[in-house]
């Protein structure tokens, strides 16, 4: 295990009844990297996430975070889904501090941090609002801030922008890259949008279903910072074509 490896999976596999959701899989994720996982539905992406998050105990294998074995344990990653899962009975500020409230007493430091993060990322005027007053994009941003202030170095994002319209989605992707750059977290990002996976990541894991497994592990050579022009870069198109072929058969 190299010193900069944050997450390590060793032969992690999971079956539900007769179905192999995830074949024994081994992975190393570098600290500070942005890794996209792309694949059709049913390829075991979410199972992989739930195993890493500790929600699902794997049938075999081991999950290591830093120098700790965390197989089947929770409370060690930040986690965000397509559904924002904001609670309607709490204000934006209190939603951001939700992780603290669920594990200990919320302190003034927590509230101040929530305020700072919200102000930094353009929601400072909405701290006192209830989530019902926010747009879909704003809600996802609050959900991401809630993930951010858990101070976990590994963030698992499961199609976080999947429910947004194309315009908002592009804004959110650029916003996410900005936050990622500023906070230096390690991001594992599930998507079935190939463009999104290339636009965001340093590295792309392509998965295929029945049984769920990683069929390709690609370096993303595109320079940062990524801009709108990145989307039409020849390298982008080339990588996209490779991923598409991997996903839909026909070889690369």
Partner 1 sequence: MKRSVLRNVGIPLLSLAVLLGLWEAIVVIFNVAPYIMPRPFDAIRAVTDNWSLLWPLVLGTIQETLYGFACGALLGLGLGVVMAKVPFLQRSLYPLLVLSQAVPVIALALPLVLILGFGRTPIVFIVVWVVFFPVAVNTFDGLSHVDQDLVNLARVFGASRRRTFLQIEIPASTTSIFSGLKIGATYAVSGAIIGELYASDGTSLALYQAHANANLNAAGVYGTTMVMTALGISWFLLVVGTEVLLTPWQRRSVARRALFRRRADVVVSTVQH
Residues that bind partner 1 (CB under 8 A): 53-55, 74-77, 79, 81, 83, 85, 87-91, 93-94, 98-99, 101-103, 106, 108, 111-112, 114-115, 119, 124-125, 127-130, 132-133, 150
H/E element, 35: strand 34-38
The distance of closest approach from Cβ of residue 46 to partner 1 in the complex, given in angstroms and rounded to an integer, is: 11
Q: Which is nearer to partner 1, 149 or 177 (CB)?
A: 149
Q: Measure the CA–CA gap between 120 and 238, rounded to whole angstroms.
A: 36
Q: Measure the CA–CA gap between 117 and 121, rounded to whole angstroms.
A: 6
Instruction: Give the pairing of strands 213-219 and 203-208.
Output: antiparallel
With vertex at residue 167, the alpha carbon angle to CA 132 and CA 172, rounded to the nearest 5 degrees, is 65
The arrangement of strands across the sheet holding 203-208 comes to: 78-80, 154-158, 186-191, 34-38, 203-208, 213-219
The distance of closest approach from Cβ of residue 129 to partner 1 in the complex, given in angstroms and rounded to an integer, is: 5
The distance of closest approach from Cβ of residue 225 to partner 1 in the complex, given in angstroms and rounded to an integer, is: 30
Contacts of 92 (CB under 8 A, 6+ apart): 118, 123, 126, 127, 128, 129, 130, 131, 134, 142
The distance of closest approach from Cβ of residue 170 to partner 1 in the complex, given in angstroms and rounded to an integer, is: 26
Two tokens, residue 108 = 């003034």
Q: Which is nearer to partner 1, 102 or 244 (CB)?
A: 102
The distance of closest approach from Cβ of residue 163 to partner 1 in the complex, given in angstroms and rounded to an integer, is: 13
Q: Which is nearer to partner 1, 47 or 93 (CB)?
A: 93
Backbone angles phi, psi at 164, to 5 degrees: -95, 155
Two tokens, residue 239 = 């990588």
Q: Which is nearer to partner 1, 116 or 181 (CB)?
A: 116
Q: Which is nearer to partner 1, 141 or 226 (CB)?
A: 141
The distance of closest approach from Cβ of residue 122 to partner 1 in the complex, given in angstroms and rounded to an integer, is: 14
Contacts of 236 (CB under 8 A, 6+ apart): 198, 199, 222, 230
Q: Which is nearer to partner 1, 112 or 241 (CB)?
A: 112
The distance of closest approach from Cβ of residue 143 to partner 1 in the complex, given in angstroms and rounded to an integer, is: 9
Q: Residue written as tokens 């990322």?
A: 121
Q: Which is nearer to partner 1, 77 or 239 (CB)?
A: 77
């Amino acid at each position: 295990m190299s010193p900069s490896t944050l997450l390590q999976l060793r032969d992690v596999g999971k079956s539900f009844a007769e179905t192999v959701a995830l074949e024994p899989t081994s992975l190393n994720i570098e600290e500070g990297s942005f890794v996209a996982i792309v694949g059709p539905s049913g390829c075991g992406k979410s199972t992989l996430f739930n195993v890493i998050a500790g929600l699902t105990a794997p049938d075999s294998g081991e999950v290591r975070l830093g120098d700790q074995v965390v197989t089947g344990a929770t409370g060690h990653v930040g986690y965000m889904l397509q559904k924002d899962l904001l609670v309607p009975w709490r204000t934006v500020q209190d939603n951001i501090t939700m992780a603290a409230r669920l594990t200990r007493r919320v302190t003034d430091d927590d509230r101040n941090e929530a305020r700072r993060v919200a102000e930094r990322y353009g929601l400072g005027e909405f701290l006192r609002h209830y989530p019902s007053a926010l747009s879909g994009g704003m809600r996802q941003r609050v959900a991401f801030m809630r993930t951010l202030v858990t101070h976990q170095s590994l963030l698992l994002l499961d199609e976080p922008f999947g429910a947004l319209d194309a315009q908002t989605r592009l804004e959110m992707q650029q916003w996410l890259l900005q936050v990622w750059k500023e906070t230096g977290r390690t991001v594992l990002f599930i998507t079935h949008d190939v463009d999104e996976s290339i636009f965001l990541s340093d590295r792309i894991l392509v998965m295929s279903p029945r049984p769920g497994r990683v069929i390709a592990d690609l370096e993303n050579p595109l320079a940062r910072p990524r801009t709108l022009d990145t989307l039409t870069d020849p390298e982008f198109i080339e990588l996209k074509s490779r991923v598409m072929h991997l996903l839909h058969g026909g070889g690369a």
